[in-house]
């Protein structure tokens, strides 16, 4: 197993996991689409999440063909795009909410980075204060250009591992990552679930055998109880659709923002409660 080539000091993403561990809890990572429902509102929602217990946030770049996203995030992306969201919207949102100990990451399909230019994307994100990038559809085996660009900009890389991944592929994913490894709890698209797949615990155990990087579990976590369940074996808990749907389910942004605050606080209690004694 090789060590991530990103410098001698822990990057901001790894440092956040270390702070959470020192506080005897898992890291709570939220997700919000840039520009949803508009740019200023997306900034306010992220600020609300961070003020109520979320430790790090993924800013999603809305995309016209979000094949890995479930209906909630896909609908949010449609709204954001209809309101004019672009790459620049995402960079502006990152810039507006960065500057604290909470790392802000971008989450984007590789096609958007490739169109923008890997080096230019990494540099622009770094200038905005972004700490890392999650690339859910970029195979780690084909990431040479992105590894070089992200190293140059000192931006952490996060690749996905799935329950179906072979042990050989987990090695490759772990070696290519430099922030944390995203363990998908199940095969499928994003969205809330009644329960978190039992495959997630096994996947985390398999990843622990090949990397010392933090491992965060996402897809399907939406409640305090589920967050506690995942925090019992993972270093981080990722929640996306449950936050985003608050805007879709509430009649106005003020009530949606209150719901986002309540959900963040509840999930924060969960990641602390579930942490192994």
- For 154-235, where are the alpha helices, taking DSSP H only? 167-176, 199-208, 224-231
Question: Token pair for residue 56?
Answer: 């790090």
Give residue 185's pLDDT band: very low, low, confident or very high (50, 70, 90): confident
Query: At a CB cut-off of 8 Å and minimum separation 6, what does 217 contact?
Result: 183, 184, 185, 196, 200, 204, 230, 234, 236, 237, 238
Active site residues: 58, 69
Give residue 10's pLDDT band: very low, low, confident or very high (50, 70, 90): low
pLDDT in tens, 75-115: 999 999 999 999 999 999 999 999 999 999 999 999 999 99
> What is the sign of the dihedral through the CA atoms of 45, 47, 51 and 55?
positive
Give residue 197's pLDDT band: very low, low, confident or very high (50, 70, 90): low
Q: What is the pTM assigned to this prediction? A: 0.92
Maximum distance among all alpha carbons in the chain? Answer: 51
Give residue 55's pLDDT band: very low, low, confident or very high (50, 70, 90): very high
Question: According to the CATH classification, is domain 11-273 in 3.90.420.10?
Answer: no
Mean pLDDT of 44-67: 93
Residue 9 has pLDDT above 70, yes or no: no
């Amino acid at each position: 197993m090789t060590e991530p080539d990103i410098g001698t000091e822990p990057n901001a993403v790894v440092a956040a996991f270390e702070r959470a561990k020192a506080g005897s809890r898992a890291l709570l990572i939220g997700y919000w689409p840039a520009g949803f429902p508009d740019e200023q509102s997306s900034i306010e929602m992220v600020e609300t999440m961070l003020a109520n217990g979320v430790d790090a946030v993924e800013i999603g770049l809305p995309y016209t063909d979000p094949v890995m996203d479930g209906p909630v995030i896909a609908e949010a992306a449609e709204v954001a795009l209809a309101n004019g969201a672009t790459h620049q919207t995402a960079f502006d949102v990152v810039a507006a909410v960065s500057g604290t100990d909470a790392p802000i990451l971008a989450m984007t399909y590789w096609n958007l980075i490739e169109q923008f230019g890997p080096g230019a994307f990494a540099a622009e994100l770094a200038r905005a204060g972004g700490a890392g990038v999650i690339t859910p559809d970029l195979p780690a085996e084909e990431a040479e250009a992105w590894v070089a660009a992200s190293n140059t900009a000192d931006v952490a890389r996060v690749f996905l591992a799935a329950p179906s991944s072979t042990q050989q592929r987990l090695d490759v994913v772990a070696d290519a990552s430099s922030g944390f490894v995203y363990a998908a709890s199940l095969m499928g698209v994003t969205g809330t679930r009644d329960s978190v797949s039992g495959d997630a615990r096994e996947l985390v155990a398999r990843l622990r055998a090949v990397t010392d990087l933090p491992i965060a579990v996402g897809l399907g976590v939406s409640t305090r109880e589920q967050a506690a369940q995942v925090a019992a074996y993972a270093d981080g808990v990722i929640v996306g659709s449950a936050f985003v749907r608050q805007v879709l389910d509430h009649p106005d942004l003020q009530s949606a923002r209150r719901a986002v605050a309540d959900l963040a606080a509840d999930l924060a209690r969960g990641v602390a409660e579930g942490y192994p004694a």
